[in-house]
Amino acid sequence: MKRSRLLAAVSALALTAAALVTGAAPAQAANLLANPGFEAGSLSGWSCSGGTGSVVSSPVRSGSHALAGAASSSDQALCTQTVSVLPNTAYSLKAWVRGSYVYLGVTGGASTWTPGASSYSELAVTFTTGASQTTAQVFLHGWYGQGTYYADDVSLDGPGGGDPPTGGVPGAPANPGVTGTTANSISLSWTAATGTVTGYRVYEGSQVVKAVTGTTATIDGLGACTSHSYSVAAYNTNGESAKSGIVSGTTTGCTNTGLPKHALIGYLHASFANGSGYVRMADVPAAWNIINLSFGEPTSVTSGDIRFNRCPIAECPNVESEAEFIAAIRAKQAAGRKVLISIGGQNGQVQLTTTAARDAFVSSVGAIIDRYGLNGLDIDFEGHSLYFNAGDTDFRNPTTPVIVNLISALRTLKAKYGANFVLTMAPETFFVQVGHKFYGGAGGGDNRTGSYLPVIHALRDALTVLHVQDYNSGPVMGLDGQYHNIGNADFHIAMTDMMKAGFTVANTGHTFPGLRQDQLAFGLPAAVSAGNGYTAPAAVHQALDCLVKGTNCGGYTLRGGASPSFRGLMTWSINWDRYYNWEFQNSHAPYLAALP
């Protein structure tokens, strides 16, 4: 969230993780790639997005031809080739490249890049295939608006794929689906695999949770109101197939939060005006179901001591008295609305580096909640509040103090206030979905990428709504292997689908499980002045149609399926919406109310 119209958009150029590597010429004798030097004079064996790839005769590194990828403002000129590989096997990928911001890697796995090479320079990366992986997709691409890049002499060294010598592993099962749920179980079914099948293994992440001989399974012993993501593999005496796609399900028994099925969520500038003017609590329209008071901020970055100061009269001449403010909160609550204190924002850096800071956070936030009689807490940590120490690579078991202490503090507050305590989070995409391709604790690049993931995961059963800020973001890769850009339906669909379906976390070997559909919303600027990534109402409605009903998805296929209980929309901010004559509220509140 931003206090001023000067926007700190996340630089797409910071989303990469490895350094330029130089070395010897590629070992062409072991090369698995077809047409690796483009000497066929064509793109034979390669596929490039949107006609952006071509073969040129100059500049080349060797031979007579090379690849030219024409990156533009809307396409990074992605060129790929898929080859057969063996499971649990090490491979070496290399390419010679020139141009600005050239990337080399394996889809869903390791990658490397160079920010600029005026002459051909070698990129190299190694990776090990997964336990059931039989194919790998190699990619090259440039970056948006950085112009044409060139590549030559690409090599993928390692043993070729295909069935092992004993042969005959089954094909992968297909079409996994949830067929039923109870408070402690989820039932699944899938389409039978081809070939000789002894049985099927149901995986949650990398762990086998059930083995059956048929095409159905019930996973028991689960907690009430918990979300889980599963895939299925077939096996016989010759080995195990590749895994199916992921399917997510949620057990029943969720606490009634008192929210409508589809909610409108907004931030209220309660401590500053921000050029949009002050809105009194009593004047917030009834359409807003959750009102986040912005912001509680620390006395210092590492103190953990959070203070909430209402807007001074010099900045907000129409500010109400505290007694009027509290009375208006009570009136909103009596009408079924939830009022939360939001901690952080652009200027409120909060680093809980010590247990003392953690305890101060719990005490001071609790004092604010008690003073105003609030319904809960919103976490809007931005900037450098969250980060990873080197080697912190397992989001399920984080070790970095600022993350561990935040998780502990939030659990304590949830336990203190009980089941009806509303907990929301508003991370930027940089701290969540970018973790699919770049994860800060895994080394290299920015150590903040993906740093909300361990917090979301640890609090997933206490979390009421996650509304990622789908704005002020660079392009982000979705589950379709494509980069998506802010300001259109496609971005909101792809980013939200990642949170519903779950995704692999880059270079860690772990999978982040999807959240419950009722926990998901997405965030938008209320108007063009409120943030970079304003989306026209018609495009927002297209995204809602796709996410809620599974229709009007454009070219995107939902990996997590439709979400009839999708929670709704968040905006920065109520003040900016009032400034623009309530366009956001008037466009979206009726649309949400009309959704099934």
Which of the residues are catalytic? 382
SS3 sequence of 288-312: CCEEEEEEEEECCCCCCCEECCCCC
List beta partners, residue 294.
Answer: 269, 342
User: In what helix (H) or strand (E) does residue 416 lie, and over which residues does it extend?
Assistant: helix 401-417
Measured from the Cβ of residue 205, the count of other Cβ atoms closer than 10 Å reads 18
- DSSP secondary structure string, 331-374? HHHHTT-EEEEEEEETT------SHHHHHHHHHHHHHHHHHHT-
Round to whole Å and give the CA distance between 563 and 261. 11
343 close to 270: Cβ distance less than 8 angstroms: no
- Residue 107 amino acid letter: T
Using the structure block, give the residue that is written with the tokens 């690049």.
445
Burial class (CB in 10 A: 0-12, 13-18, 19+), 514: buried
Bond before 573 cis per omega within 30 degrees = yes
Q: How far is CA 360 from CA 131, 303, 367, 384, 413, in A?
A: 45, 7, 10, 19, 12
Classify strands 90-106 and 111-128 as parallel, antiparallel or unpaired: antiparallel
Q: Residues 6 or more apart from 367 whose CB is under 8 A from it?
A: none
304 close to 385: Cβ distance less than 8 angstroms: no
Report residue 462 as tokens: 């206490």
Burial class (CB in 10 A: 0-12, 13-18, 19+), 594: exposed
Helix orientation angle between 401-417 and 355-372, rounded to the nearest 10 degrees = 30
Q: 168 by DSSP, 3-state: which? A: coil
DSSP designation for 26: P
Short-list 287, 257, 261, CA closest to 376: 257
Burial class (CB in 10 A: 0-12, 13-18, 19+), 154: buried
Classify strands 568-572 and 263-269 as parallel, antiparallel or unpaired: parallel
- Residue 508 amino acid letter: T
434 close to 441: Cβ distance less than 8 angstroms: no
